[in-house]
Structure 1
Amino acid sequence: MNNIKVLSILYMLLSMISTQFSASIAKQMIMQLDALTVTIFRIFFAAIISFILFKSWRIIPKLKLIDKSDLILYTVALCVMNTLFYFSLGKLPMGIAVGLEFTGPLLLALLSIKQRIDYLWVGFAIVGILLMVPWSEALQLNFSFLGAICALGAGFCWALYIYYGQRVATANLGIHALSLALCFSSAILLPIGFIWHPEPLLTPSYWLQGLLIAIFAAAFPYTLDILALKNLTKLSYGTLSSLSPVLAALAGLIFLHEYLSLLQWIALFFIMVASIGVTLRKESVD
């Protein structure tokens, strides 16, 4: 396995750790406000950070020279994915919301299979996710089917985010595609937010929380995703993404003393096998 692939996998791991850390902050903030407002904070502050950090104003004159269809579709996928996931997070236990959202990357991994052995690794990942998610909570009377639909919709958009993210990552825009997508998403969501629920958007006491979510849930992980997608296939990215609930479970065990059931330990084993298998496999071009 070459150093570039190792570095790309490291980018993915850091991205997932950052995302899981931010999810707990976002969950608490959604309970105080609403999902759309928290999504806007996440996207808006991330847009400012990435635009300044990457000096993306330098790419604007070149926009007229490139095919903008992939950038538009990448923007829509990113915008809708964030909105639907935060709506699901406000209505479902985090484990179920994350598990349902992972149907997107795993479906994309299945569709990207070109070698028979890869069915084994994706199969391990699917079994691991099914065992990891606390489905017993879905039997409660207050289970939100709307939240489940939002999580599945976020998963579908995540698959599109991976697909078009890989395309824009290898195009002339490079890392600037992310900051432009975040800026365009902000332009879409901000007017809706000011019509829907303007008070919290204008309340400075919420801005610090919004900034933290933007850094750890969007600006930092999405930048790492773009870097990883330059050198990983859709199959590798989709299967390795299944490590995210594992990282969330381990973080809960270490920091919150949330102990895992026997089935969840078995799930960890299945997901780890899938991730190791897809990492060590001989890559084919997607």
Structure 2
Amino acid sequence: MFSSQLGAMLCMLISMLSYQFSASYAKHLFEVLDPTSVTVLRLSFAFLIIFFMLRSWRIWKKLAFVQWQIILCYSLALGLMNICFYHALNDLPQGIAVGLEFIGPLGLALLSVKQRSDFIWVGCAILGIVLLMPWTGYQRLSWRGVGFALSAGFCWAMYIYFGQKVIRQNIGIHSLTLGIGLAALCLLPYGLWQNSAGILNTMYWKNALILALLATAIPYALDLYALKSLNRLSYGTFTSLSPAMAAIVGMLVLDEYLSLIQWVALFSIMLASIGITLRSYRQRKKLGA
């Protein structure tokens, strides 16, 4: 039991590192391609990988019974989340972009706060947001990047919200295939209109494949394995470490060093996330879920 949990925790760690290294890789790619083109290429290749990895052709007969309006909302949220995050990543240090984006799902979780004692987590989240704003005087922060990061966070919250509805449609994990595929299809016309030369240039397809593997296929496969052995508390706590992981990877790969105030801000956001995860886990145990 202990060895399986340890293995699951290691998988979570590798999954998070893979995703954060993919963000750093994408940021290097922005030197030759704009964020929109990188997003379109990544989603397109991610769809092909996930389609064959999950053998999603098996759900063909079920598509007639799918509520497509929910699927489209889910796909739109997924696509906008990715494009906004990459635009934020282009303007902000990686740790700050991830920290601000993390406010989205955290805010969704904080909406369920009912007990007065839980408002301490709301205070931690607010403190983190305040300290990450450009008025702290950090020269590499831009309001445009902050706007994109917060928009990505909002889309992430919508992705979670509609994802919970999609799960009830009896297509299981194949909902991810549909979500990524439709998101890529919706963004492709705009991407081609903006930069068809870059998207159709096969020289960049190898980069897009690597990005899709690091950001989608590897984390998704490892998360599926980890979820078999980790409970909600462990999984939620590990996920809460994402902003710090992003800041560390950004420092090592991109030479992006944060100020002490910004580290305090990231830890405030992570503390709020861990606190709300613990509260949610205890509440479920009381209800016997």
Query: TM-score, normalized by length of structure 2?
Result: 0.78
* Cα RMSD (Å): 3.9
> Which SS does the other structure have where 2:108 is aligned?
helix
| Whole-angstrom distance in 2 between the partners of 1:50 and 1:155 | 24
Give the gaps of 5 or more residues in structure 1. none
CA distance in 2, matches of 1:269, 1:93: 16
Q: Per-residue CA shift, 1:229-273, capped at 9, x if unaligned?
A: 99988xx95x86542111122335566776664445545654554
What do the CA deviations read for 1:188-212 (whole angstroms, capped 9, x no partner)? 1222222221112222221111111
Match for 2:201: what amino acid? T
More displaced 10-residue stretch of structure 1: 94-103 or 252-261 = 252-261
The residue that corresponds to 1:211 in the other structure is: 209
Q: Residues 11-160 of structure 1 correspond to what in structure 2 (within 5 A)?
A: 14-128=14-128, 130-131=130-131, 133=132, 135=134, 140=139, 144-160=142-158
Change over 3 Å in CA distance of 1:279–1:149 after alignment to 2: closer
Hey, what's the Cα distance between the residues in 2 that align with 1:146 and 1:253? 22
Residue 163 (1) aligns with residue 153 (2) = no
Find the aligned partners of 1:5 and 1:128 in 2 and give their Cα distance.
Answer: 31
Partners of 1:224 and 1:12 in 2: CA distance: 7
2:7, 2:157 → 1: CA distance?
Answer: 22
| Shift of residue 163, structure 1, vs aligned partner | 1.5
Q: Return closer, same or farther for 1:90/1:117 CA change in 2, 3 Å cut-off.
A: same
Indicate if the aligned counterparts of 2:59 and 2:171 stay in contact, CA closer than 8 A: yes
CA distance in 2, matches of 1:10, 1:68: 37
Cα distance, 1:78–1:4 mapped onto 2, change above 3 Å: farther
Is the CA contact (8 Å cut-off) linking 2:94 and 2:246 kept in structure 1? no
- Greater shift after overlay, 149-158 or 21-30? 149-158
SS in 1 for 2:92: coil
SS at match of 1:41: helix
Deviates more, 1:269-278 or 1:83-92: 269-278
- After TM superposition, the score normalised by the length of structure 1 is 0.78
Q: Give how far 1:226 is off.
A: 7.7
Q: What corresponds to 1:189 in structure 2?
A: 187
Inter-partner Cα distance in structure 1 for 2:67 and 2:219: 25
Residue 268 to residue 73, structure 1, CA distance change in 2 (3 Å): closer
2:148 partner amino acid:
C
Q: Name the SS of the counterpart of 2:172 in structure 1.
A: coil
Q: 1:95 to 1:120 in 2, by over 3 A?
A: same
Instruction: Choose from 200, 203, 213 the match for 2:198.
Output: 200
Q: What letter is aligned with 1:22?
A: S
What percentage of aligned pairs have identical amino acids? Answer: 48
Aligned equivalents of 1:85, 1:191: Cα separation in 2: 19
